[in-house]
Structure 1
């Protein structure tokens, strides 16, 4: 898989056709926008969780995000605009991002879409009462899950929990 960066994004999508799991963050941090790589903040637990889940052979660094394609994984965001916190995003931005995400997923056809954050899912997709886990609807043909945001600010979910959840996503994504 050799997905090409999409234009006009401060942090290019890591995407290609037929991924097992496409992880979808809320939006890039300012540090991610500065570096051009996903989950670049030092306190973010995305990279260690992927490795602990057995989805990568070692802990990748943010600058190695394109290597995820070799492992059947990808990353995008609901909203492309970088902010200090996701709370700075408007409901309109989240809804527009959800529509764009659906088109992206329909185009690339990952087996599983994992939205990293319940608030982005609830607001962007108009599901105010949604809960974490597998969703009843499919987005762009993909089985859709909402899982905890790996930000270090989300302290009530610990790294081993994230790793367990990510491992489950891979099992779903590589199923029959």
Structure 2
């Protein structure tokens, strides 16, 4: 299927963890570059949720150490005090390096991202995007979406899963 990514993205821990849980971390290769702040690396990799070798094997990952004073200033300026360290660093990094895609499954982060003019993409959205770009077939994408609901620790409603599957079928014209 397709190769190479088209857009860079900044990744929060959620999509890294959830896609790893269903064995499709490799879908993150749809992004030309995957920027990962240190706080996210700590939450996902150092905490033992995802193996560092699996993340580094993607070949598009770039870690970022972000000065605490810059993040603190950003947090106060944009009123995102209620978010976790990794989420704050992700929002800051998107702004700092002019990356518009933020991978996150957290609703509050998605709202904050939208208010900053960013495009949030969750784990389900990564699967849909990978399908639309030709990286996975419809027959592969549907079980991955189901796995995010049935297997991973991602909290998502059945209605959202059905919406994601609908989006797959919109592209395929309803054919398999």
Q: Structure 2 length normalisation: TM-score?
A: 0.36
Q: Which has the larger radius of gyration?
A: 2
Say which structure is richer in helix.
2
Q: Structure 1 length normalisation: TM-score?
A: 0.36
